[in-house]
Chain A
Amino acid sequence: MTKELQTKSLFQLTSLSFSYRKNKVLDDVSLQLQSGKFYGLIGANGSGKSTLLELLMGTLSPVSGSIYYRNRIIGDYPRKELATKLALVPQHFSMDFEYRVRDVVFMGRHPHIPRFSSPSNHDREVVENAIETMDINHLQDRPVIALSGGELQRVVMARALAQETEVLILDEATSNLDIQHTIGIMRVMRERVNKKGLTVIAAIHDLNQAAAFCDDCIVLRDGHIFANAPVQEIFTSDLLQTVFGVDASIQQGAVEGHPQIHFSYQAGMAP
């Protein structure tokens, strides 16, 4: 039944469809994602970004079509094994119990620590590192329910980093952050992609952020892949008009070889 699919790509999606009850969210999506790249997933609200990310995580199963991760159907992996390879920073996160920040970051080590074992020195080091990277040292002993949205997002991010996976999937992970932390975190991601071969797949609302940090962008529109290309090629006035319904001009190669988008904020005035 399952035909062997030998490709070099990390993810191989073939005519993938998904619907919530009768509501079709993704339709005939085919896509290949390579390892060691920074992918941006962009599209208007309700275009199917979060659903696609959940399918990649294996927390949803496709209605039709297939997803291969490293040449094996994603649903065939044991949950625990998958958790050592893929980490997710979800869009929404809340907690009803008073776990401390440090405990929550430590939960990222869960798939690595065998049942009834205590954390090893390596586990502690990784957690320390993640806390350092996300600049939440000063919050360590606070209960997570007492944090602001932005602080919480950094905690969840640190938890995902502590998972030490080769793929990091971010669902608008910087939406609540101030500009300093947003840029800081995106830089860290970029650096890990460059130096450690991490693969990042991030749904991003801020198009300039996507343009500045990603290698490739995948544009979703009404559950279809509208375009998929390197950032240097993908952003055009036409695309922004069709997909997002905004007027904008693009300055190619403006920021370190990456494009910059100038939106027109007033109606009827071309930028």
Chain B
Amino acid sequence: MTGSKPLLIIAFLFIILCAAIIAATGMGFLKITPVEVIEIMLSRIFGLESGEINPTFPFVVMEVRLPRILTSALVGGGLAVAGAVFQAILLNPLADPYTLGISSGAAFGASLAIILTIFGIVIPAWFSIPVFAFLGAMATLIGVFSLASTDNRLSSNTLILSGVIIAAILSAGIGFIKYLADEQVSIIIFWLMGSFVGRTWTDVITTTAVVLPGLLFILYFARDLNIMALGERTADTLGVETSKVKKMLLVCASLITAICVSVSGIIGFVGLIIPHLLRMILGPDNKVLLPACFLGGATLLLGADTITRAWLPSEIPIGVLTSLIGGPFFCYIFRKKQMALSS
């Protein structure tokens, strides 16, 4: 449980993430070597002159590719950590950031913003969609919590059920908005499928501002989360303020999910698969699992985004790609685990 092995794993995952960021930055229509990428980054950070590098490269790296790559990494890490937290709190290995209906809330908010624009109510589009999505996610969170909290304790089943009910209502709402949008429905559909196209440093900064403090806050309670796996009552008797920790972490993980969805749209399976996979390899100890999920999720989504950006002949929505690859892959490991248990 203790020792240097977990630290080594975290360090290893961190190095992989850094390498992936550098490699991905070099990939695309313009090929840039890793050495040049590092040179450009260093020259920007330390204000040095970058020697004989093609003068368009720094712009491509710093203004086009890096913001998108960092946003996708932050969103991937955020969704994976949020997934791990929801699974630990709801004591349900199948929970994910969307179980509580948060994604539906964000999707509803975004659809609302788009339909308002279509109807001629002028809001600057790049401002309105993420903000509306975020507000939608937060409103859903409040709705689910108030529906679930009939007593002082939030029971896992009540929470999941409330999430499912509210998500169903919101889906109907989204359907209605799509119907109203008529011929321009494709804008909504495209947003819902998720994309990192055209992300800017503003997106990187707002996402970082929520995801990183959120991650630190969650890590502070990692040990309490382990104890909570014993069940709420037992965790109480071991000195954990279970209902308080539960509420704080649910809000924190939901905030992370909300910001991720608002900058990227709906990206499924990252929050489910990464915690699952890493739990199978590293065990359930949240002190190791949570940071590993952040790094692993970041690497995975960054990789998936690079595939659609640089490899595929034309970009397909990232949410579709993660579900298309993630779904069957999940079926595979799930099946393999079932077989292993029964033999």
List the B residue with the shortest CB-CB distance to A84: B239
CA distance A54 to B219 in the complex (A): 30
Q: Closest 5 interchain pairs by CB?
A: A83-B239, A111-B239, A80-B239, A97-B284, A88-B237
Residues of A within 8 A of B (CB): 54, 57, 59, 79-84, 86-88, 90, 93-100, 102-104, 106-108, 110-111, 115, 118-119, 163
Q: Does B238 touch A at the CB level, under 8 Å?
A: yes
Contact B237 A57 (CB under 8 A): yes
Contact A82 B284 (CB under 8 A): no
CA distance A184 to B233 in the complex (A): 27
Contact B93 A96 (CB under 8 A): yes
Contact B230 A59 (CB under 8 A): no
Interface of A is mostly: mixed
Question: What's the nearest-Cβ distance from chain B to residue A20, in Å?
Answer: 10
Q: Does B285 touch A at the CB level, under 8 Å?
A: yes
List the B residue with the shortest CB-CB distance to A108: B238
B-chain residues with CB within 8 Å of residue A97 when the two chains form the complex: 88, 93, 229, 279, 284
Contact B230 A118 (CB under 8 A): no
User: A119 contacts which of B2, B226, B284, B285 (Cβ < 8 Å)?
Assistant: B2
User: A59 contacts which of B93, B223, B229, B237 (Cβ < 8 Å)?
Assistant: B237
Question: What's the nearest-Cβ distance from chain B to residue A161, in Å?
Answer: 13
Question: What's the nearest-Cβ distance from chain A to residue B134, in Å?
Answer: 31
List the A residue with the shortest CB-CB distance to B2: A118
- Chain B 217-262 residues near chain A, CB threshold 8 A: 220, 223, 226-227, 229-231, 233-234, 236-241
CA distance A94 to B233 in the complex (A): 12
A-chain residues with CB within 8 Å of residue B237 when the two chains form the complex: 57, 59, 82-83, 86-88
CA distance A17 to B240 in the complex (A): 26
List the A residue with the shortest CB-CB distance to B237: A88
- Chain B 44-83 residues near chain A, CB threshold 8 A: none
* Residue picked from B92, B93, B279, B283, most chain A C-beta under 10 Å: B283
Question: What's the nearest-Cβ distance from chain A to residue B245, in Å?
Answer: 11
Q: Does B116 touch A at the CB level, under 8 Å?
A: no
List the A residue with the shortest CB-CB distance to B241: A79
A-chain residues with CB within 8 Å of residue B233 when the two chains form the complex: 54, 59, 88, 90
Contact A79 B236 (CB under 8 A): yes
List the A residue with the shortest CB-CB distance to B94: A96
Q: Does B1 touch A at the CB level, under 8 Å?
A: yes
Question: What's the nearest-Cβ distance from chain B to residue A88, in Å?
Answer: 5
Contact B230 A83 (CB under 8 A): no
Q: Does B41 touch A at the CB level, under 8 Å?
A: no
A-chain residues with CB within 8 Å of residue B2 when the two chains form the complex: 118-119
Contact A110 B234 (CB under 8 A): no
Q: Does B91 touch A at the CB level, under 8 Å?
A: yes
User: A110 contacts which of B227, B231, B241, B284 (Cβ < 8 Å)?
Assistant: B227
Contact B91 A96 (CB under 8 A): yes
What are 13 A-B residue pairs whose CB atoms fall within 8 Å in the complex? A79-B241, A88-B234, A90-B231, A93-B234, A95-B231, A96-B93, A97-B279, A98-B279, A102-B1, A103-B226, A103-B285, A108-B238, A111-B239
A-chain residues with CB within 8 Å of residue B1 when the two chains form the complex: 102-103, 106
Interface string of B192-230 (1 = CB under 8 A from A): 000000000000000000000000000010010011011
CA distance A97 to B280 in the complex (A): 10
Q: A97-B229, A99-B229 given as contacts; is B238 within 8 A of A107 (CB)? A: yes
CA distance A88 to B283 in the complex (A): 26
A-chain residues with CB within 8 Å of residue B240 when the two chains form the complex: 79, 110
Contact B284 A94 (CB under 8 A): no
Contact A96 B229 (CB under 8 A): yes
Q: A96-B91, A96-B93 given as contacts; is B239 within 8 A of A107 (CB)? A: no
